[in-house]
Amino acid sequence: MAKKKPPFNQEMAIRGANRRLFARSPFVVEKLEESRQEFPRYKKDGTLAKKPWVKRQCEVCSAWVGSTKIAIDHIDPVVPPNGFPASFDMWDRITMFLKRLWCDKSNLQRICDDCHDKKTNAERIERLKIKYTQELDTLEQQIQFAKKDIKRHGAASDGYKNWIKYINKYLAKKKTSGLEEIVERALRLKQEILELKSSFDK
């Protein structure tokens, strides 16, 4: 069976078209041309090849790498680390996206594939951290309410059953480097939920 085509997403289409346009723009070409060095290339038999090896320098680790292993990166990422403001509609988001994409040259850097992977991963972890912190803030609030309920009425709803399931999502991240604080916090909250549970069960 053929894969179902995802529905057309106007916002993503506009973003994608602009990213492609930007990648071919003079800003990117100039930035790449700023650092260009030819290195001798040897053939398999050890003799010098006619065409030299063109390499460019990564501005993060200073390594010289082949043209296919380097990209132009936005130092301050195009999509803000904590996402677009919730109050934004599609056109607000697109406007902000375009301004950040077509940024000042000082926000651009050449980056090798290795450094790019590391940076992308660090940004992903940072976004998760922000998201999980907000989610755990909400859960912690609910736990505090439940504690008050128990004090007042001697009982609370049995929402804790879902909380345990919910908290396991964060505990599953214990092997992800950079999320240690989130996992520790989740462990503390789980302990609190278990303590609540024993008072529910009385």
If binding is defined by CB under 5 A, does position 136 make contact with Zn ion? no
CB of 178 to Zn ion, least distance (A): 20
- Residues whose CB falls within 8 Å of the CB of residue 45, separated by 6 or more in sequence, listed in order: none
Stretch that binds Zn ion, among 7-15, 54-62, 78-86, 128-136 (CB under 5 A): 54-62
Contact 144, 177 (CB under 8 A): no
CB of 164 to Zn ion, least distance (A): 43
If binding is defined by CB under 5 A, does position 61 make contact with Zn ion? yes
If binding is defined by CB under 5 A, does position 58 make contact with Zn ion? yes
Q: In the set 78, 115, 189, 196, which binds Zn ion (CB under 5 A)?
A: 115
Q: What is the DSSP letter of 60?
A: T
If binding is defined by CB under 5 A, does position 194 make contact with Zn ion? no
Euclidean distance between the first and the last CA atom of the chain, given in angstroms as a whole number: 55
Q: Degrees (nearest 5) of the Cα angle 184, 190, 192?
A: 110
What's the token pair of residue 137?
Answer: 């803030």
Which residues contact Zn ion (rule: CB under 5 A)? 58, 60-61, 112, 115
